[in-house]
Chains A and B, each alone.
Chain A
């Protein structure tokens, strides 16, 4: 599973980081870091990552494979 992150659309709500804290983190300024950029989401994180994609209120996350 890969996720495409639209950083321009991200508003820093951080709900993804609540769902999948080892895949997404936000710093104090609510800037998002996606820890699987350019790689596959680790298999034991797929369910949480999928919940994170679904939790984004602005559809900035997208499962692409």
Chain B
């Protein structure tokens, strides 16, 4: 490691900023350069699909403050990496040399528009959120393509603005993320709020130029004042071409956030854990924080202070907050720990052999610490039961 040449972090993201903070916390006093394409610098993204879509007032103060970290900022996109000369090239023509490099460029929205078809709306950045909010304020009807977390959060914002909204997907809402039990209940929740879920059996095409509707697999077309694509994300890796670091799934890392190239690390939405280390990409805020923390420790040659996966995430769908701790998706019916699911106020637990339990707060506001402690208690109960049954 040539730390005397400094640490370069590409991506002013929560993963990148967490790593910078952890480097300083661990006493690293060398140079830390952050290369980022966002003109405003780093800001909190979770509120973009919630508060920011509700009204302009809540977009103030989203910026993450980091004056205490003594960072050098390069506010231009990284466009190329040369691992031999250890240099990152930026869009504005700078070459930045590194001793250690952290790839934290996150992901871009997956788009459905044809090349040159204009007006597709997606939601990843503050600029995207501002544009969608302005359009929601003008719209009377909306179509959301994709019934994942993001699609349902945008649909919720449409309902809050009195916009008639339809959600289109090939699968029931959140099925892939949360499993069938929760998916069915969310579908009911959406129906009760007058949000139709249009389940289709094939690819949806955007129509109009600019985009003004969707063509469905059955040959029909639906038009709306506002069409938003919420069809997942793709890791931001084009700047890594030719390095062998990235494939279509992103940048492969091990449990220490090391890539296949010495002194090059990756964290957050851009990264996925190699098969032996979890074998998946989990683009959620809490994983980005965990991986940023782990990457900083690895850069300094320390052992990882935590696992590179932190299974905590949350959403809010039409006033129904959901918080989950543990592996997802889950299968089958959960045990009811507290409350009443039909009243939208419950704590649920799923258990499956060989993995940690999953605990969900369904419609109940609860601190993550309590949820984690419930998951741990569930785990202990399981172990106690397992050891009793072995003794029999």
Q: Is there contact, CB below 8 Å, between B366 and A12? A: yes
Q: Is there contact, CB below 8 Å, between A57 and B367? A: no
A6 to B51, CA, bound (A): 12
- Asked whether any CB of chain A lies closer than 8 Å to the CB of B64, the reply is yes
Q: Is there contact, CB below 8 Å, between B367 and A62? A: no
Q: A54-B64, A62-B61, A63-B65 are in contact. Are A29 and B46 (CB under 8 A)?
A: no
Interface bin, chain B? 20 to 34
Q: Is there contact, CB below 8 Å, between B321 and A11? A: yes
Q: Mark B152-183, 1 if CB is under 8 A from A, else 0.
A: 00000000000000000000000000000000
A62 to B32, CA, bound (A): 23
- Asked whether any CB of chain A lies closer than 8 Å to the CB of B218, the reply is no
Across the interface, which residues of A come within 8 angstroms of B51, CB to CB?
9, 58
CB-based nearest B residue for A56: B44
CB-based nearest B residue for A16: B367
Q: Is there contact, CB below 8 Å, between A59 and B21? A: no
Q: Is there contact, CB below 8 Å, between A58 and B46? A: yes
Which B residues from 46 to 90 make CB contacts under 8 A with A? 46-47, 50-51, 58, 61-65, 68
A11 to B319, CA, bound (A): 12
Q: Mark A1-24, 1 if CB is under 8 A from B, else 0.
A: 000001011011111011000000
Some 30 contacts from A to B, beta carbons below 8 A apart, are A6-B61, A9-B47, A11-B314, A11-B321, A13-B323, A13-B367, A14-B367, A14-B369, A17-B369, A18-B368, A26-B367, A28-B370, A30-B367, A31-B365, A50-B68, A51-B21, A53-B65, A54-B21, A55-B289, A57-B46, A57-B285, A58-B44, A58-B46, A58-B50, A58-B51, A59-B43, A59-B44, A59-B63, A62-B61, A63-B65
**A54-B18, A58-B50 known; 20 other A-B pairs, CB under 8 Å?**
A6-B61, A9-B51, A11-B321, A11-B365, A12-B365, A13-B367, A14-B370, A17-B369, A18-B368, A28-B366, A30-B365, A50-B68, A51-B21, A51-B25, A53-B65, A55-B289, A57-B46, A57-B285, A59-B47, A59-B61
